[in-house]
Structure 1
Amino acid sequence: MDEQTALVLALQLVALFSIAGALLLYLLCKIRAGGGSDLSETAPGAGKPVLVTSCDNAIGLQIALHLANRGFRVFAGLRDGASSGSSDDSVSSRVIRAWQKHRESVQGQGALVALPLDVTREDLLHEAVDIIRAHLPAGEDGIWAVVNTSGLSYRGRLDQQDIAHWDAMLKTNVVGILRTARKFQNLLRNAGGRIVTLGATENLGSGLVAYAASRYAVEGASKALRQELSPMGVKVVTVKPQGILPELLFSTPKLKDKQGQQETSVEIGGSLEFQPLVLSKRALQILDVALTAKCPKTDYNLQEKVWCKPFHMFNVV
């Protein structure tokens, strides 16, 4: 082989390896990007029972619907509602009934069961355990996760706030989590499940001293619970809805009139919209990871701006 032919062959080989290397790098980048963009539909936990302690507020209702749409069997706690046959006419109950009615007409694995629950009442917590057990498949006696969305928030100067508000926040935000953890720890242990709590957030403005105290108490309680329940196989995860005002997190969902709105939902015999939505799509994906990761981190930051677009649901019943 002469020198010129060898040089041409060498250049061709270099070009071939460069193309192959570039193609391999492109495929690796695509795989990496795809793996982080969303949660797999067959992720661990899908189809398993999850309790959302309060769907009377914006964050609880949004999380419950999201998880039900993801395929979980969601038990939605409502202070004033019991079941699809309840006479309760709150927005949350109407939205849940609309979701249930729509699900009857489509193929899907998820489920949404409303039950009476107030984390400050021991009798309702005990009743919730019985209701959940009655809805579990034969041979199962465990729950995948308890998502603590119950909460109260009062804003005001420390010297002008009613001390009764402090007591109410501590009773719901902190003691409520301890009551719930104690009542559900056996069901969680049976399934190797996890507790999800809402932690503290920064830069929410003035007038939230007592509220912030309750949220940092939740973080401390979560850390202690993590140590105590770890030997039982129960995980404790704290998510921080960074930048989202507590007034929005725990606001009562309201129906949205579609008139004058540019966006319209797909109508299925009429549509139901509610607001506000407090978690973005990305924040919900982070929550998915916290709920389904085999070895979740102790803390996740839902650092997303508030979305106040109406959420499109289905038939009003």
Structure 2
Amino acid sequence: MLAAKTCCHLPLRTLQLQGRADHWRVLKTLSTIYVTPTGRRAYASQAADGNKAVLVTGCDSGFGFSLAKHLHDKGFTVFAGCLLKDKGDAGVKELDNLNSDRMKTVQLNVVKQEEVEKAVEIIRDNLKDPEKGLWGVVNNAGISTFGEVEFTSMETYKEVAEVNLWGTVRVTKACLPLIRRAKGRVVNISSMLGRMANPARSPYCITKFGVEAFSDCLRYEMHPLGVKVSVVEPGNFIAATSLYSPEKIKAIGDKMWAELPEKVKKDYGREYFDEKISRMNTYCNSGSTDTSPVINDVTHALTAATPYTRYHPMDYYWWLRMQIMTHLPGAISDKIYIH
């Protein structure tokens, strides 16, 4: 921490890049000062024996589905919140087919207060000892979209925020009385885009920046009460999460273009718009399909005696890019996006 603080107070001229050699010297310095990606950390000793109960939201697919199965295998009692439980989704059926008294799927749309309250009631009724509380909640449920600011409707901004940000707040507040009793854990799934902005992703970035702020405020408040709060900031795992498909990207793009005001269409032009859609298609074909770094980090946050404040399951490219965007002056970091 001392080194990081000292770096932040260096004269600006020492951070000015003067050619390739200085550029790499600064990057090398950053890589030694700041926490490196998860895979290079020395993990703390494990504190929990796994015989505890946790709620995981967004378990229909993606991180949540994999995490629910993983935590069950580790001995946890898992309450898997599923948006589509009442519709008999395939992911829900697979979890139910485990036929385990330690795997309980619950209907949970994090946007609906009544469903959140009912889910917490089910959890309380099924805890072995409600007085000992609920060990953990993992706020994983989320949605995403894309589109430049002038292309994105206010309805889209509100829809994404309702799930990613207010859903996280809503579920956390409902669970906190049980979490406090257990002196347990809150683990919020954010994103590298909760630390650095990205063109055409403002609805998503706004919500994840909000999750970061909420998590920090909650961590300060819960520390005296023995509750630990961690944030997991995955890198590019878009290929593993089923958030997008070429068909979905096309559908979003077609709807977006159809709803644009004529003035905006005229000013930007269809060629510009289509080029942005093409970039999104390229991005969605990239990224890791192995979710294990994220799953392992969440597990560590739930079980370690001293969990980390933030976890960075991402490859070195994205980790280094995040350090540049968050720690170097804007005149330098902006060059990544502004040409």
1:231 matched to which residue of 2? 224
User: Of the candidates 121, 144, 158, which is equivalent to residue 153 of structure 1?
Assistant: 144
Identity value in percent: 28
Which of 193-202 and 114-123 deviates more?
193-202
Q: Deviations over 1:210-260 (max 9, x none)?
A: 211111111011101111222222111000111223x7536399xxxxxxx
User: Of the candidates 151, 176, 200, which is equivalent to residue 207 of structure 1?
Assistant: 200
Larger Rg: 1
TM alignment of 1:124-135, pairs within 5 A: 124-135=115-126
User: Of the candidates 113, 122, 131, which is equivalent to residue 104 of structure 2?
Assistant: 113
1:197 is paired with a residue whose SS is strand
1:156 is paired with a residue whose SS is coil
2:76 matched to which residue of 1? 72
| CA–CA separation in structure 1 for the residues paired with 2:56 and 2:191 | 19
TM-score w.r.t. structure 1 length? 0.66
TM-score w.r.t. structure 2 length? 0.62
The 1:56/1:281 distance shift into structure 2, 3 A limit, reads: closer
Question: Residue type of the partner of 1:136?
Answer: L
Shift of 1:177: 1.2
User: Of the candidates 283, 288, 291, which is equivalent to residue 280 of structure 1?
Assistant: 291
User: Of the candidates 241, 260, 272, which is equivalent to residue 249 of structure 1?
Assistant: 241
| CA–CA separation in structure 2 for the residues paired with 1:219 and 1:177 | 11
The 1:240/1:180 distance shift into structure 2, 3 A limit, reads: same
User: Of the candidates 189, 193, 208, which is equivalent to residue 198 of structure 1?
Assistant: 189
| CA–CA separation in structure 2 for the residues paired with 1:206 and 1:179 | 28
1:302 matched to which residue of 2? 313
- Is the CA contact (8 Å cut-off) linking 1:55 and 1:92 kept in structure 2? yes
- Is the CA contact (8 Å cut-off) linking 2:72 and 2:103 kept in structure 1? yes
The 1:112/1:36 distance shift into structure 2, 3 A limit, reads: farther
The 1:182/1:205 distance shift into structure 2, 3 A limit, reads: closer
The 1:197/1:250 distance shift into structure 2, 3 A limit, reads: farther
- Is the CA contact (8 Å cut-off) linking 1:126 and 1:183 kept in structure 2? yes
Q: Deviations over 1:25-71 (max 9, x none)?
A: xxxxxxxxxx969987xx51502000001112311111111111111
The 1:196/1:165 distance shift into structure 2, 3 A limit, reads: same
The 1:222/1:45 distance shift into structure 2, 3 A limit, reads: farther
- Is the CA contact (8 Å cut-off) linking 1:51 and 1:146 kept in structure 2? yes
Matched, 1:136 2:127: yes
1:54 is paired with a residue whose SS is coil
| CA–CA separation in structure 1 for the residues paired with 2:223 and 2:45 | 25
Unpaired runs of 5+ residues, structure 2, are 1-40, 246-286, 317-339
Question: Residue type of the partner of 1:173?
Answer: N
The 1:250/1:79 distance shift into structure 2, 3 A limit, reads: same
2:253 matched to which residue of 1? none
Aligned residue pairs total 233
| CA–CA separation in structure 2 for the residues paired with 1:250 and 1:119 | 19
- Is the CA contact (8 Å cut-off) linking 1:59 and 1:279 kept in structure 2? no
Question: Residue type of the partner of 1:132?
Answer: I
| CA–CA separation in structure 2 for the residues paired with 1:129 and 1:93 | 18
1:44 matched to which residue of 2? 48
2:79 is paired with a residue whose SS is strand
The 1:62/1:278 distance shift into structure 2, 3 A limit, reads: farther
Write 1 or 2 for the structure with the bigger share of helix.
2
Shift of 1:142: 0.7
Unpaired runs of 5+ residues, structure 1, are 1-34, 83-87, 104-109, 254-275, 306-317
- Is the CA contact (8 Å cut-off) linking 1:145 and 1:193 kept in structure 2? yes
Question: Residue type of the partner of 1:180?
Answer: V
The 1:38/1:237 distance shift into structure 2, 3 A limit, reads: closer
Q: Deviations over 1:129-184 (max 9, x none)?
A: 11111111146441111000111101122211222111011111111111112111
1:99 matched to which residue of 2? 98
Question: Residue type of the partner of 1:295?
Answer: T
Shift of 1:281: 3.1
